Amino acid sequence: MISEEEARNRILQDIRPLPPRRISLKCALNCFAAEGYLARLPLPGFDNSAMDGYAVVASSCGPSKRLRVVGEQPAGADRQLRVSFGEAVRIFTGAPLPAGADAVIMQEDVTREGVEITVKTDVHPGDYVRRRACDLSEGQKILTKGERIRPTILALLASQGLAEVMVGGEASAGIISTGDELARPGEKLQAGQIYESNSVLLEALLQRCGVNERSVEQCPDDPGALIAAFKRGVQHHVLLINGGVSVGEHDFVKSAMQSLGGEIDIWRVAIKPGKPFLYGRVGKCIVFGLPGNPVSAFVTFLQFVRPAILKMMGGADDEFRLQTVPARLTVDLQNGGDRAHYIRGKLGNGCFTPVGRQESHALFGLSQSNALLRLAPGTEIKHDTAVDVEIWD
Ligand code: AMP
Ligand code: MG
């Protein structure tokens, strides 16, 4: 059995990014930039006013000084006005600064009578002027290849006049939930059955990775049905099969994959929860076999599937890992086993507290958690110790 770190590294080495595509900014939120971008326009693009007021020559101003208003410059078309000593141009926020002006006086700091204003304050060169390129210079890096496109990055790209951006390819994914015991939510539950909850969990997690093209199937523990479902599922870039990956007489995923000529690269990983895990491919489709237990499916998705999908979609290395946050552990924990244990818990006020039963079927505890603490094999951590936890919410 390999460690979960080795498994993740092997998977990431195997995954190739999909071909990039050019899409409109409207659709690019959370995609990864497929190339670096440099500013082609400075910000601001020209000297302009930061206030509604009067553009002036600072040296002609001061308390009680009177100035003659010689024109008006609203935001929009540049009227090519000029201001000389003793003059003012009525100006508005974002309007181009008239030639000769080196400061703006806020309208609250003058009194106006007809075409004359009386200044009430001291005025210094540069007051309320936003200089060309003071925020961003031409040629400055604005987006790095593999960086996630956040709302503010979208705004920055738009400010450069770009309507489209090159982003990583979009992965499509299939989900097959296996098990004779599974009933669909909404159906009547028979004795011995449980409601199927993994597909909705995995779909939501895929959605968060930016995978919008998805299909979901439910399949009984029957080799023929599983092979048929497999054939449909491998049309996607990625196929997630959950349940039936273990070694029981009703676990057919491995054999179905082999009978389709698939290759299994990884089977079983030293991670708790999540030991029955499979990674391989059928044709061009990347196949993940995830455990049926909901907490195991969740943890293995975050540790193995998410990084693979993000890499496929063009994410840079530092985007693969879940965000880690320092926290103080509130209880003593130990892991006497030989698998890394991912403890589910709540991070709040800088403290991490395990939540609920730390068992792979315990969905309620998982639902109340927002963080994972990795406890390496053979370690013990005392309460009050500083730890790093991984967060997903
Ligand atoms: P398996 O991995 O097929 O041995 O299943 C392990 C456990 O997970 C069993 O208790 C199953 O009933 C449960 N399980 C399997 N698939 C699902 C599913 N889609 N939703 C909820 N529980 C499941
Ligand atoms: Mg099963």
32-48: average pLDDT: 98
| Protein residue whose Cα sits closest to atom 15 of ligand 1 | 292
Supply the DSSP string of 187-246, one letter for each residue: SPPPTT-EE--HHHHHHHHHHHTT--EEEEEEE-S-HHHHHHHHHHHTTSSEEEEES--S
Return d(Cα 47, Cα 38) in angstroms, integer. Answer: 21
Residue 41 DSSP symbol: S
CA-wise closest residue to 324 among 290, 373, 282:
373
| pLDDT score of 322 | 95
Write the single-letter amino acid at 4.
E
* β-pair type (116-119, 110-113): antiparallel
What are the beta bridge partners of residue 272? 341
Query: What does the pLDDT look like over 217-269, one tens digit per residue?
Result: 999 999 999 999 999 999 999 999 999 999 889 889 999 999 999 999 999 99
**393 pLDDT above the threshold of 90:** no
314 contacts 146 by C-beta, under 8 angstroms:
yes
CA-wise closest residue to 177 among 292, 255, 258:
292
| pLDDT score of 126 | 98
* Structure tokens, 184: 């669909």
CA-wise closest residue to 66 among 29, 3, 119, 105:
119
Query: What does the pLDDT look like over 283-337, one tens digit per residue?
Result: 999 999 999 999 999 999 999 999 999 999 999 999 988 999 999 999 999 999 9
Q: How far is CA 94 from CA 75, 76, 104, in A?
A: 5, 8, 12
Distance 274 CA to ligand 2 centre (A): 14
Conformation bin of residue 35: beta by default, left when phi > 0, alpha when psi is -120 to 50: beta
pLDDT band at 359 (very low <50, low <70, confident <90, very high): very high
| Protein residue whose Cα sits closest to atom 3 of ligand 1 | 243
Q: Which helix (H) or strand (E) holds 320?
A: helix 317-320
**Global pTM?**
0.93
Return d(Cα 270, Cα 335) in angstroms, integer. Answer: 13
The whole-chain average pLDDT of the chain stands at: 97
| pLDDT score of 128 | 98
**111 pLDDT above the threshold of 90:** yes
Q: How far is CA 317 from CA 20, 320, 364, in A?
A: 17, 6, 32
CA-wise closest residue to 285 among 240, 317, 255, 246:
240
Return d(Cα 79, Cα 89) in angstroms, integer. Answer: 11
pLDDT band at 185 (very low <50, low <70, confident <90, very high): very high
* Rg of the chain over all Cα atoms, to the nearest angstrom: 30
pLDDT band at 45 (very low <50, low <70, confident <90, very high): very high
Per residue, the 3-state secondary structure of 324-387, as one string, reads: EEEEEECCCEEECCCCEEEEEEEEECCEEEECCCCCCCCHHHHHCCCEEEEECCCEEECCCCEE
| pLDDT score of 320 | 87
39-62: average pLDDT: 98
| Protein residue whose Cα sits closest to atom 14 of ligand 1 | 292
Q: What ligand is nearest to the CA atom of residue 180? A: 2
pLDDT band at 81 (very low <50, low <70, confident <90, very high): very high
Distance 373 CA to ligand 2 centre (A): 27
Q: Is the peptide bond before 44 cis (omega within 30 degrees of 0)?
A: yes
Distance 229 CA to ligand 1 centre (A): 18
Per residue, the 3-state secondary structure of 237-293, as one string, reads: CEEEEECCCCCCCCCCHHHHHHHCCCEEEEECEEEECCCCCEEEEECCEEEEEECCC
Q: Is 290 exposed, middle or buried (0-12, 13-18, 19+ CB in 10 A)?
A: buried
| pLDDT score of 161 | 98
Q: Measuring from each residue's beta carbon to the nearest atom of ligand 1, which residues come in under 6 Å?
A: 177, 179, 181-182, 194, 196-198, 242-246, 291-294, 361
Distance 322 CA to ligand 2 centre (A): 29
Supply the DSSP string of 130-177, one letter for each residue: E-TTSSB-TT-EEE-TT-B--HHHHHHHHHTT-SEEEEPPPPEEEEEE
Q: How far is CA 124 from CA 110, 324, 333, in A?
A: 15, 47, 63
